[in-house]
Structure 1
Amino acid sequence: LGPQHARWGFGSQEEVRRVVDGYRERGLPLSVLHLDIDHYDGHRVFTVDRERFPDLPALAKELRGGGVRLVSIVDPAVKAEPGDAVFDAGREVGGRGAYVRDARGRVVVGEVWPGACVYPDFTDPVVRDWWGSLYEERLAQGFSGVWHDMNEPVSFAAFGDPSLPRSARHVLEGAGGDHREAHNVYALAMARAGYEGLLRLRPEERPFLFSRSGWAGMQRYGGTWSGDVSTGWQGLRASLSLVLGLGLCGVPYSGPDVGGFDGFPSPELYLRWFQLGAYLPLFRTHSAIDAGRREPWEFGPEVLEHAREALVERERLHPYFVSLSQVARLTGAPYVRPVWWGAPGDRALRECEDAFLLGDALLVAPVLEPGVRRRAVRLPRGRWYDTATGRAYEGPGQVLVDAPLSGVPVLARAGAVIPVRGADGEPELEVWAPAPGRTGGGLVVRDAGDGWAEAGVERYATRWEGGRVVVERDGGEGEVGCRVRVRGVADAS
């Protein structure tokens, strides 16, 4: 749930260290760094280029000691070359091997990054078990998670579609069928294979996995991301639409390639994308091998400073994101919700596509156009506080708020209880004063850390009493148990 950085084209251990050191030296939080296909040996899955990455386990251990975990790309296509360990092992799986065949029983050969490739049939449970066991190699290299790519699946060969031929045959859990039936569930089944494999290999840890493609039910195994979103203001706007839409479809954990995948974003575009990403579940910069860099310091001192503010705020809100992740698991409610979430009959809210609710407590209004320094925000019913100024606004209605380069408008619902990380790193409750005569509250879910221990759900209520805001926790004789900071009191009367 912390800030993540990726690039197709790090190229070496030294470059990975340089980038991580760049974050550290500038005091920028970083939780995860992703390696793309350039760390593979000849782009072959479950391999490492030993010349460029001579000791990947040592690098992973070194980075983890500094609080940064490594995540590996995993593509489904396997190089069709005798002597390749994965290819040879796949041919021995089950009675007919692991790979998709055509109607005549011949293995389908496509073209992907390693060259001629074959494709595991993830709709076969036996193949899923075999594929899941291969993730042991990734764990041995020191990776803490995986991201699945090219898993629509993609083939550069001219089959008529940029995927497998429609006539390709699949097991489909024993029912049998062609690729027209299997295409949409291919990536879902791959995610299941990866998730279940990681779970078998390290049952004490929660697997971290997200995928470019998926299908209904993807949330059981991981999240997803935008894929190669175009660099431009239109791509920025599409990023928000994608996360909102996926959340409504039951996939709560998602995000875009911050800054866009290709090309060279302007400093303003990069910053506005970065500021949006700081409030999305998956907050990851990423770019193509021939695109511009996406490190915040590459865009000048002003962008660097404002990006730092976004990163610091993301870290401050980390306990809130943890709570939202658990709420998503328990209820299905996404982190990122349309502003009409609590009032689906409100037509004005239903037409609002440039703002969103982050949980129940916050309304985020990103800047999605160039040159904007002030923008209109459509508010749901109730009182809302501008978190930058403390000013109170009444909804429903539309208000104009400042949107300087230093940050995007974020408004807090009156009465909200938001778990945050204090300046000293200790947990703290940020409480926004209820409107006069009203009450409020919120849920706080304290994550027990990596593993499967049941998270504790705490319910808080807020109210006015004798001219002061009272915060109580259900149970425990009402004791809160951590610091409380009340905001908005001066504007609550």
Structure 2
Amino acid sequence: MIINTELEQKGNQFPNEIKSVRQEVDTLYFTTQNNVILELTVLRDSVIRFRYGTRGILEDDFSYAIDPENHVGYNHLELSENKNFYIVTTAKLIIKIEKISLQSKILDREGNLINEDEIGFHYEESFTLGGNIVKMSKRSHPGEAFYGMGDKPVHLNLRGKRVTNWATDSYAFGKDTDPIYKSVPFYIGLKEKHAYGIFFDNTFKSSFDFCHERLDVTSFWAPGGEMNYYFLYGPGMSEVVQNYTHLTGKPELPPLWTLGFQQCKWSYYPESTVKGIAQKFRDLKIPCDGIYLDIDYMDGFRCFTWNKEYFPDPKRMVKELLDDGFKTIVIIDPGIKIDPEYWVYNEALENDYFCKRADGPDMVGKVWPGECAFPDYTNPEVREWWADLFKELVHDIGVRGVWNDMNEPAVMEVPGKTFPDDVRHDYDGHPCSHRKAHNIYGTQMARATYEGVKRYVYPKRPLVITRSAYSGAQRYTSSWTGDNVATWEHLWIANNQVQRMCLSGMSFTGTDIGGFAEQPTGELFVRWIQLGVFHPFCRVHSSGHHGDQEPWSFDDEVTNITRKFIEMRYTLLPYLYTAFYEYATEGIPMLKPLVYYDQDDVHTHYRTDEFIFGNHILVCPILEPNSKGRRMYLARGRWYDYWNNEVVEGGRELWVDADFDTIPIFVKEGAIIPRYPVQQYVGEKKIEELKLDVYYAEDTIESRVYEDARDGYDYKKGRYSLRNFKLTGKAKDLSIQQFKTGTFETEYEAIKLNLIGLPFRIKKITVDNVAYDLNNLDKEDKILKLPKDFSVVHMIG
């Protein structure tokens, strides 16, 4: 469907003159002569919802994406009018609604135009589909840039692109393949240093055109549902992403082990193979926390069963793996094998839990087990039943995480690779067809899985992973980017996709390291590990059809470099966990593209390679074969080269050497980076001390370290430790203040400061106003050992 370029185009209808306006607390209703309603709601001073109805009707208001815990509240709301406009004013925004056309303009309080309708809302009645095709067009400005939209494998800046949201099983997708697995109809616009976001909360097959058809127009549309979108204002990109993440929900903290390294393949079986892989990790001293069982662990691919030939005693195996530090994660797909001897199938059949075709019979499709029926996860009763199915796997056998795959939903041997449009869904009491439910099917499956794993892994915390997702899925699940390929192009895609997912509220994401399809060279595998250890979710996964993809599958050099980078990740776990804490509490993404980090620097608007890991570390992966280094852009500010501690001035392009065993990594001056010792798995060793790498700056910089019991829910009762550090550097003087909150007592008693880049020789140190014996200072390393709860340490040159 093409958006109209001519107003007169047949079939399009437009709102005309406003005939009435009424206000109910935070919501305004504008009704036109031709019975179009605009319901405008002020959720926060910078978050405005626009919802349009035709024929004077608004549908039942229901959304899977919006977090029920989303707190709303604004400081100011005022309605006024002049000759041409109704004017809605909040503490942050001015919204002008044109009286003759219902078109809107949004300005900040200084009067800068942020966003304006081109035609604005228009629609076409679709008698073949029923309902309306709803459309919105916005004026775009020269230089305006666009970001977000979930897992699209395209250039980070979407200007000039057109994309579609329809969750699709896209095995071995490539650059610019669209659509693929996820549907996140949210984008960020950046116009003249002002960032805003638009979230089009419509689960139908939506499309977005970013100045592709017309250079000065951005539009979005869907062949059903409502024109219902949220406008989120910055002006910082960080505020837009945080507003969006508050709106669609934040995750709970995962157990710390899920941030460790994880190993997967299609498939590890029988038990002796699984145990052999685990043993090899320990023998070679390559840290690893998770091991995955793909579909072959089941009896004939029947979910919630075990192949007793391959795994005669799964409970014993899972426990033995756990004793060695390995948590077991198993795959569960939505397709339930049609088999009258199979208890899961019979229960669902008896209770009428399967999705149905319009004329009544169950939806039947082929997946791995052969012919399957599919639970309707949009029915709360079905979700409750599904959650309960995890009792045996999780509570009795001891599995610690569940991986949902094929949940787009994927169906084999049919043209669209999914359900036909006429399949019916409950949609939480708002019955609908698959056209509406398709994009959220995977998320509702992940939600039901999460409720089950959470219930039965208690008092531990759950891990759920999903392939398909819609906005808001981050409340229940982590994700990975699906079936990629072992090519250099896919390494570029992987880097891009994870940055984009982080901008789209879904930070707990990673890729199949090394590529799922085909076989990587040792060099590609190393370069992918070097990127993957900086992704929030870190897992090697391969189809295994072309050879093995464990760290030792190549040669000793590859094994050693892989170990070195996985060890680096393990030492950075407190840094990564702190980043997750900020994501879970404040909606701050764990990775930040350079444009997020410094949107005022125009050089960042088209950068795809470099990103900020957490708040203080800049990473630039090597994405080409036979590289001895690369050109990269270093963001503005002063940075320390991680490998040699040289100080480098940013805001420019530079050449960086990066042989096979290294990649460009820079640390922001003034940063305090927490480090743990290398462990083979989380919790293997008692942490004897917290090491802090302190990067000197002539400035005042804040850093944080969040810790808790690493699993369980005590942190929700205040049993956590949050250390806020404030570094203040002067020419001959450095002080670090610590403010601690939370009641958790860490197991270590001492903090070691590793002072980097100090421009003066220390002549005097005081700790909480008491002189420190300089003989205790390791002169070579400038390492200072302090009691863990010191308030202030002061070093004078």
TM-score for both structures, normalised by structure 1: 0.95
Secondary structure at the aligned position of 2:377 is classed as coil
The structure 1 residue matched to 2:752, chosen from 467, 483, 487, is 483
Instruction: Check the 8 A contact 2:501/2:507 in 1, yes or no.
Output: yes
Equivalent residue for 1:149?
Answer: 405
Equivalent residue for 1:4?
Answer: 262
In the alignment, structure 1 residue 262 sits paired with structure 2 residue 524? no
Aligned length: 485
Equivalent residue for 1:36?
Answer: 294
Distance 1:490 1:133 in 2: 61
Distance 1:484 1:464 in 2: 15
Distance 1:488 1:55 in 2: 56
Equivalent residue for 1:308?
Answer: 563
Query: Which runs of structure 2 are paired with 1:29-428 in the superposition (5 Å)?
Result: 29-93=287-351, 97-139=352-394, 140-158=396-414, 160-422=415-677, 425-428=687-690
In 2 relative to 1, CA 112–58 (structure 1 residues): closer, same or farther, beyond 3 Å? same
Deviations 1:428-472 (A, max 9, x none): 243343333x12121111133211122332211112257343221
Deviations 1:182-213 (A, max 9, x none): 01000110111011122233442221111011
Cα drift, residue 426 of structure 1: 3.5
The code of the aligned residue for 1:458 comes to R
More strand by share: 2
Distance 1:291 1:259 in 2: 12
Deviations 1:138-178 (A, max 9, x none): 112221011100000111132x3101111100011111111
Instruction: Check the 8 A contact 1:70/1:143 in 2, yes or no.
Output: yes
Instruction: Check the 8 A contact 1:390/1:491 in 2, yes or no.
Output: no
Deviations 1:48-107 (A, max 9, x none): 1000111111111111111111000110110011111110011122xxx11000111110
Distance 1:133 1:299 in 2: 42
Distance 2:710 2:646 in 1: 36
Cα drift, residue 409 of structure 1: 1.2
Equivalent residue for 2:156?
Answer: none
Cα drift, residue 482 of structure 1: 1.7
Equivalent residue for 2:237?
Answer: none
The code of the aligned residue for 2:658 comes to A
* Structure 1: runs of 5+ lacking an equivalent: none
Secondary structure at the aligned position of 1:378 is classed as strand
Distance 2:267 2:449 in 1: 24
Instruction: Check the 8 A contact 1:430/1:487 in 2, yes or no.
Output: no
The code of the aligned residue for 1:470 comes to S
Structure 1 residue runs of 4 or more that deviate by more than 4 Å after TM superposition: 490-493
Equivalent residue for 1:460?
Answer: 725
Equivalent residue for 2:692?
Answer: 430
Secondary structure at the aligned position of 1:49 is classed as coil
Distance 2:467 2:757 in 1: 41
Distance 2:621 2:734 in 1: 30
In 2 relative to 1, CA 280–184 (structure 1 residues): closer, same or farther, beyond 3 Å? same
Identify which range, 402-411 or 342-351, moves more after superposition. 342-351
Cα drift, residue 12 of structure 1: 0.6
In 2 relative to 1, CA 466–392 (structure 1 residues): closer, same or farther, beyond 3 Å? closer
Distance 1:377 1:72 in 2: 40
Instruction: Check the 8 A contact 1:170/1:177 in 2, yes or no.
Output: yes
Instruction: Check the 8 A contact 2:688/2:750 in 1, yes or no.
Output: no
The code of the aligned residue for 2:285 comes to G
Cα drift, residue 342 of structure 1: 2.8
Distance 2:688 2:407 in 1: 41
Instruction: Check the 8 A contact 2:334/2:407 in 1, yes or no.
Output: yes
Instruction: Check the 8 A contact 1:354/1:366 in 2, yes or no.
Output: yes
Cα drift, residue 359 of structure 1: 1.0
Secondary structure at the aligned position of 1:143 is classed as coil
Distance 2:760 2:631 in 1: 21
The code of the aligned residue for 1:430 comes to L
Identify which range, 291-300 or 464-473, moves more after superposition. 464-473
Distance 2:724 2:595 in 1: 24
In the alignment, structure 1 residue 469 sits paired with structure 2 residue 734? yes
The code of the aligned residue for 1:38 comes to D
Distance 1:132 1:102 in 2: 24
In 2 relative to 1, CA 491–279 (structure 1 residues): closer, same or farther, beyond 3 Å? farther
The code of the aligned residue for 2:400 comes to S
Cα drift, residue 303 of structure 1: 0.6
Distance 1:91 1:250 in 2: 37
Cα drift, residue 491 of structure 1: 10
In 2 relative to 1, CA 141–475 (structure 1 residues): closer, same or farther, beyond 3 Å? closer
Distance 1:157 1:404 in 2: 46
Cα drift, residue 412 of structure 1: 0.3
- Of all paired residues, the percent bearing the same amino acid is 33
Deviations 1:195-236 (A, max 9, x none): 112223344222111101111001100110011111100111
Distance 1:448 1:282 in 2: 20
Q: Over aligned residues, Cα RMSD in angstroms?
A: 1.8
Cα drift, residue 368 of structure 1: 0.8
Instruction: Check the 8 A contact 1:392/1:491 in 2, yes or no.
Output: no
The structure 1 residue matched to 2:706, chosen from 445, 449, 454, is 445
Secondary structure at the aligned position of 1:71 is classed as strand
Distance 1:273 1:301 in 2: 17
Cα drift, residue 475 of structure 1: 5.2
Instruction: Check the 8 A contact 2:593/2:610 in 1, yes or no.
Output: yes
Secondary structure at the aligned position of 1:273 is classed as helix
Cα drift, residue 352 of structure 1: 1.2
The code of the aligned residue for 1:65 comes to D
Distance 2:473 2:493 in 1: 21
More helix by share: 1
The code of the aligned residue for 1:450 comes to D
Secondary structure at the aligned position of 2:652 is classed as strand
Secondary structure at the aligned position of 2:552 is classed as helix
Distance 2:760 2:421 in 1: 63
Secondary structure at the aligned position of 2:448 is classed as helix
In 2 relative to 1, CA 36–431 (structure 1 residues): closer, same or farther, beyond 3 Å? same
Distance 1:383 1:489 in 2: 14
Equivalent residue for 1:17?
Answer: 275
